[in-house]
Amino acid sequence: MEVIKLTKENFENEVKKSDKPILVDFYADWCGPCQMQGPIVEKLAKENDSFKVGKVNVDEQQELAMEYGVMSIPTLMVVKNGEITYKETGVLQENAILDLMK
């Protein structure tokens, strides 16, 4: 699957109402650690059909970042059945993310 660009307009349907678990990456283009996390997240999106991957650009979607209490980036959030099961700031490696998505 491709990475889904998440906005306040599609967040409800793509994340809260998703029939699959979804990994949400809150990021900014200028953020160094986000640039390290990005390729990992994109690789996971292409290689896995059991979950979805979405990205929120915090500069463009400040309202979403505020709603979910994102104070630092990158912040990864996992949502399963409409519930947040994980939310932490910092870069995670591929294996750690795969463990969260099980």
Q: For 17-52, write each residue's pLDDT tens digit.
A: 999 999 999 999 999 999 999 999 999 999 999 999
Could you give the CA distance from residue 32 to residue 42 in angstroms, rounded to a whole number?
A: 16
List, by residue number, the catalytic residues: 31, 34
The domains of the chain, with CATH numbers, are 4-101 (3.40.30.10)
pTM, full prediction: 0.96
The DSSP-derived string for 53-74 is EEEEETTT-HHHHHHTT--SSS
pLDDT at 1: 85
3-state class (DSSP) for residue 26: strand
- Does residue 9 register a pLDDT over 90? yes
